[in-house]
Amino acid sequence: MNVFDMSFSKVYGCLVQKAERKGRTRNEVDAVTAWLTGYDAPGLRALEASDASYGAFIDGAPAWNPRAGLITGKVCGIQVEAIEDARMKKVRQLDKLVDELAKGRAMEKILR
């Protein structure tokens, strides 16, 4: 099963857990997600309560941040800016932001 077919609640829950294990909060994960995608916290909660797929979350993002292109670096050994598939690039951009959050980077720097 690819990431786009997985349930949003499962994938997003894993992102939240990654951050929480490092002392960050769900609200901080929601903030970076909102910055990148345009979803607000109630929208994220509604997606979590639904049977929406992660692909539907990516494809239905209200307003992908035009500054997302500034997200660079590696996630799982893959250079984010070198990813050619637009949907996968968006998935990895959010992964990268949550990684930075979990590593203790300041919110001002994460939200380029």
**Which of 1.10.8.290, 1.50.10.20, 3.90.1150.110, 3.40.50.510 is the CATH number of 3-110?**
1.10.8.290
Q: Could you give the CA distance from residue 59 to residue 105 in angstroms, rounded to a whole number?
A: 28
Evaluate whether 61 touches 37 at the Cβ level (below 8 Å): yes
Q: What percent of the chain has pLDDT above 70?
A: 100
Q: Which of 18, 8, 44, 34 is CA-nearest to residue 100?
A: 18
- Give tens-digit pLDDT for 22-51: 999 999 999 999 999 999 999 999 999 999
pTM for this one?
A: 0.93
pLDDT value of residue 76:
86
Question: Which DSSP letter does residue 74 get?
Answer: E
Question: Which tens digit of pLDDT belongs to each residue from 48-86?
Answer: 999 999 999 999 999 999 999 999 999 989 999 999 999
Domain ranges of the chain: 3-110
- Whole-number pLDDT of residue 109: 93
Q: Answer for the pair 4, 59: CB distance below 8 angstroms, yes or no.
A: no
